């Protein structure tokens, strides 16, 4: 149901949309909008969107024109940074064998590839070790540390992991390894045994960069290392060319976007400049993936997050864990293309596995669901643990309930959680770990993971039910869709598209503005790909805007678009650029709708 004055585009009240959501307009400060408009020479629409961020004039300038030099502090503000640099300088001088131990996701792969690329450039030989997700699990393990030591290494750098690997790093010391931990995950009350622990989430860290992805922390490390090698004359004495670190910002941008960390302050500058570097396609692996997924021209954060990143992740999820690191550090175009093809195939396999698990989970839910359900927990001993996180996300979106998906394997189960606003699943999982209900676990409000004995699953389910009941909020029964701006259909034009580009790159804490198009007329609605609805929005100026509603065919939204019976609709969605045969046009991604 909607209540909208046809002469007023400043108000829109949708009580219940096609997808059962309430639409909420932001409240704007007219004085702030006017100041932004005049100071930065932007339109009223863009000024209104910028006003919602609550920036002062300096912060707004850095947002619109982010420069690394203006936002990057001294790397030595990180606790233990100088210790980490000193130990690696010594290893370089003594020609010690260094091993990089990374995670198997995109942040881990880019972190590892960044270090490999740096060391290869300065002709320092390093090896890498990426653990198998299924056989070894996440992070350092004692057996891997023993193997690394037995292969003659004396120094290990863990990236995107290690901060909670207490037992493994204790054993690493016994095996004669000096360990440097470079991580960004939550720090516990004690630190692991290591020569240095570089993590902006340390309680004594003064960098104020706790929002960085691991690859961002690694970049800060090589900035410090590069500077130190220069100061002590190592480059001059060894006749080695000092590298320009900006050439590897493509890796930093890739890992930062895909790890879904906040795209603010330094992260925003790293990603914006990194995407420019990425668009030059000098990294053999990124170039090969772009060719395979048909990404041409300037690469966007959307291309990274939805096309490039998932394929790199696929190796760790259902394939070979090391493929991502190997691809991104490859110097051979032929090798990179071969690796990219394998990752693309693994990604196709991942999609098939994911869809099978998703459909089986829905059958389980529909068979057992109750109107009083406050959360969803599904489990199966045939589900691949590499896809349960993606499945949990899809189920959460479908049912608007906190969702836990568990893959049972030989008595020890792995679970992945995705939550809704108002329910802090990370806190609940941490509490379950403290109470020894689960073997291990962690996460944050919206996403968490755990391992649990199969025999404790029923106990965990009861515990989740009690804790979620305590946190239940109105947001669960009344899902909200926030609207950044309201326009008429003829406002969907290239001018709007150009203004919205000033807000890029988009990502966590800088989401694409959701625009409401009111009193829209839909024409030529058709089903595409078996599950999407493609259509055109007819503007009063005689133009037609390309629009699509993904995965909507079985929803009330899809049904309405396919048969409007001549009625006008209010539509909510995202304005994007669609490139077709080198021609740019406006496309509207429809997320929800309601009858006008």
CATH number of the domain where residue 146 is located: 3.90.1640.30
Instruction: Clarify whether residues 257 and 301 are in a common domain.
Output: yes
Which pLDDT tens digit goes with each residue over 546-557? 999 998 998 999
Q: Considering the domain boundaries, does residue 196 fall inside one?
A: yes
Domain C-terminal end among 343, 378, 403: 343
Show the tokens assigned to 433. Answer: 């770990």
The per-residue pLDDT for range 342-374, each reduced to its tens digit, is 999 999 988 899 999 999 999 999 998 888 889
Pair 473, 505 in one domain: no
Mean pLDDT of 41-47: 93
Which pair of structure tokens corresponds to residue 502? 């000033």
Q: Tell me: do 246 and 193 sit in the same domain.
A: yes
The answer to whether residue 32 is domain-embedded is no
Kind and range of the H or E run holding 352: helix 333-368
Contact at 8 Å (CB) between 133 and 386?
Answer: yes
The answer to whether 596 touches 4, Cβ cutoff 8 Å, is yes
Categorize the per-residue pLDDT at 477 as very low, low, confident or very high, splitting at 50, 70 and 90: low
CA angle 507, 510, 515 (to 5 degrees): 105
Shared domain for 112 and 208, answered yes or no, is yes
Q: Specify whether 400 is located in the same domain as 498.
A: no
Range(s) of the domain holding residue 501: 2-27+484-595
- Average pLDDT, stretch 159-179? 96
Q: What is the pLDDT of residue 198?
A: 98
| CATH number for the domain that contains residue 585 | 2.40.50.140
**Which of 424, 444, 477 is at the close of a domain?**
477
Q: 432 and 328, same structural domain? A: no
Report pLDDT for 133.
82
- Tell me the mean pLDDT in the region 12-22: 88
Residue 63 clears pLDDT 50, i.e. is over it? yes
Q: What gap in Å lies between CA 192 and CA 173, rounded to an integer?
A: 11
Residue 41 counted as domain residue: no
* Among the ranges given (52-66, 370-384, 571-585), the one the predictor scored with the smallest mean pLDDT: 571-585
Q: What percent of the chain has pLDDT over 70?
A: 97
Q: Does 387 share its domain with 459? A: yes
Asked if residue 206 is part of any domain, the answer here is yes
Task: Name the burial class of residue 579, with classes exposed (0-12), middle (13-18) and buried (19+) by CB atoms within 10 angstroms of its CB.
Answer: middle
> Could you tell me which of 319, 379, 322 has the C-alpha nearest to residue 349?
319
Percent of the chain having pLDDT more than 90? Answer: 76
Asked if residue 211 has pLDDT above 70, the reply is yes
Same domain, 423 and 383: yes
Residue 66 lies in a domain: no
* pLDDT score recorded for residue 447: 86
The CATH number assigned to the domain holding 400 equals 3.10.310.30
Beta 22-25 vs 126-129: how paired, if at all? unpaired
Q: What pLDDT does residue 579 have?
A: 78
Asked if the model's pLDDT at residue 201 lies above 80, the reply is yes
For the chain, the helix, strand and coil percentages under 3-state DSSP, each to the nearest 5: 45, 20, 35
Across the chain, what does the average pLDDT equal? 92
DSSP for 223-246, please give it.
HHHHHHHHHTTHHHHTT-PPP-GG
Q: Does residue 587 sit within a domain?
A: yes
Residue 521 predicted with pLDDT over 60: yes
Q: Going by DSSP bridges, is the β-strand pair 569-580/583-595 parallel, antiparallel, or unpaired?
A: antiparallel
Residue 332 lies in a domain: yes
Residue 564 host element (H or E): none
CA neighbor of 523 nearest in space, from 537, 504, 541, 511: 537
Q: Is there a single domain that holds both residue 394 and residue 278?
A: no
Q: Residue 338: CA atoms inside 13 Å, Cβ hemisphere, count?
A: 7
Q: How far apart are CA 486 and CA 319, in angstroms?
A: 45
530 in the same domain as 404? no
- What is the per-residue pLDDT across 456-468, written as a single tens digit (0 to 9) for each? 999 999 999 999 9
Same domain as 491, residue 470: no
Total domain count for the chain? Answer: 3
Q: Identify the weakest region by mean pLDDT among 63-72, 382-391, 524-533, 579-588.
A: 579-588
Same domain, 585 and 464: no
- Quick: pLDDT tens for 270-297: 999 999 999 999 999 999 999 999 998 8
Q: Is residue 399 part of a domain?
A: yes
- Model pLDDT, residue 10: 53
Residue 303: its pLDDT value, please?
Answer: 95
pLDDT tens digits, one per residue of 232-263: 999 999 999 999 999 999 999 999 999 989 99
Of 477, 505, 538, the residue at which a domain comes to its end is: 477
The whole model's pTM is what? Answer: 0.87
């Amino acid at each position: 149901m909607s209540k909208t004055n046809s002469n007023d585009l400043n108000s829109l009240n949708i009580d219940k949309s096609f997808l059962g959501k309430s639409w909420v307009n932001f409240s704007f400060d007219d004085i702030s909008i006017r100041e932004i408009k005049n100071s930065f020479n932007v339109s009223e629409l863009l000024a209104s969107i910028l006003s919602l961020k609550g920036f002062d004039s300096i912060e707004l300038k850095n947002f619109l024109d982010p420069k690394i030099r203006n936002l990057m502090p001294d790397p030595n503000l990180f606790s233990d940074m100088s210790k980490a640099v000193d130990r690696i300088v010594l290893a370089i001088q003594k020609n010690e064998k260094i091993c990089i131990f990374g995670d198997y996701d995109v942040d881990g792969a880019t972190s590892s590839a960044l270090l490999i690329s740096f060391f290869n450039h300065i002709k320092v030989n390093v090896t890498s070790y990426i653990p198998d997700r299924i056989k070894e699990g996440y992070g350092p393990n004692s057996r891997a540390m023993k193997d690394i030591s037995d292969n003659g290494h004396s120094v290990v750098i863990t990236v995107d992991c290690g901060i909670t690997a207490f037992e493994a790093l204790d054993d690493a010391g016994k095996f004669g390894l000096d360990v440097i931990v470079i991580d960004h995950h939550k720090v516990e009350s004690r630190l692991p045994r290591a020569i240095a622990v570089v993590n902006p989430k340390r309680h004594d860290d003064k960098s104020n960069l706790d929002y960085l992805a691991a690859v961002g922390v690694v970049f800060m490390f090589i900035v410090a290392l590069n500077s130190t090698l220069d100061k002590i004359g190592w480059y001059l004495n060894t006749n080695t060319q000092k590298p320009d670190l900006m050439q590897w910002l493509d890796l930093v941008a890739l890992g930062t976007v895909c790890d879904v960390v906040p795209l603010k302050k330094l992260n925003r500058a790293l990603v914006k400049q990194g995407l420019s570097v990425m668009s030059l396609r000098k990294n053999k692996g990124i170039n090969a993936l772009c060719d395979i997924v048909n990404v041409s021209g300037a690469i966007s954060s959307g291309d990274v997050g939805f096309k490039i990143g998932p394929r790199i992740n696929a190796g760790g999820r259902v394939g070979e864990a090391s493929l991502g690191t190997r691809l991104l550090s490859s110097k051979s175009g032929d090798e990179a293309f071969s690796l990219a093809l394998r990752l693309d195939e693994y990604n196709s396999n991942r999609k098939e596995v994911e869809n099978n698990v998703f459909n089986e989970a829905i059958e389980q839910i529909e068979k057992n669901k109750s109107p009083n359900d406050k959360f969803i927990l599904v489990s199966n001993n045939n589900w691949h643990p590499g896809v349960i996180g993606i499945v949990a996300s899809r189920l959460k979106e479908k049912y608007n309930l906190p969702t836990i998906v568990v893959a049972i394997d030989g008595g020890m189960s792995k679970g992945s959680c995705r939550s809704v606003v108002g329910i802090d699943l990370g806190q609940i999982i941490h509490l379950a770990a403290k109470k020894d209900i689960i073997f291990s676990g962690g996460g944050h409000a919206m996403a968490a993971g755990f391992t649990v004995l199969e025999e404790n699953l029923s106990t965990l389910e009861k515990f989740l039910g009690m804790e979620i009941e305590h946190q239940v909020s109105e947001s669960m029964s009344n899902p909200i869709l926030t609207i950044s701006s309201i326009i008429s259909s003829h406002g969907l034009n290239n001018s709007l598209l150009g203004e919205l580009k000033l807000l890029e790159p988009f990502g966590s804490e800088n989401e694409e503005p959701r625009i409401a198009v009111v009193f829209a007329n839909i024409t030529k609605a058709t089903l595409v790909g078996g599950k999407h609805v493609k259509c055109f929005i007819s503007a009063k100026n005689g133009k037609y805007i390309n629009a699509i509603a993904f995965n909507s065919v079985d929803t009330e939204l899809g049904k309405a678009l396919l048969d409007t019976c001549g009625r006008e609709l209010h539509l909510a969605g995202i304005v994007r650029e669609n490139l077709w045969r080198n021609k740019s046009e406006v496309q509207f991604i429809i997320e929800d709708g309601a009858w006008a």
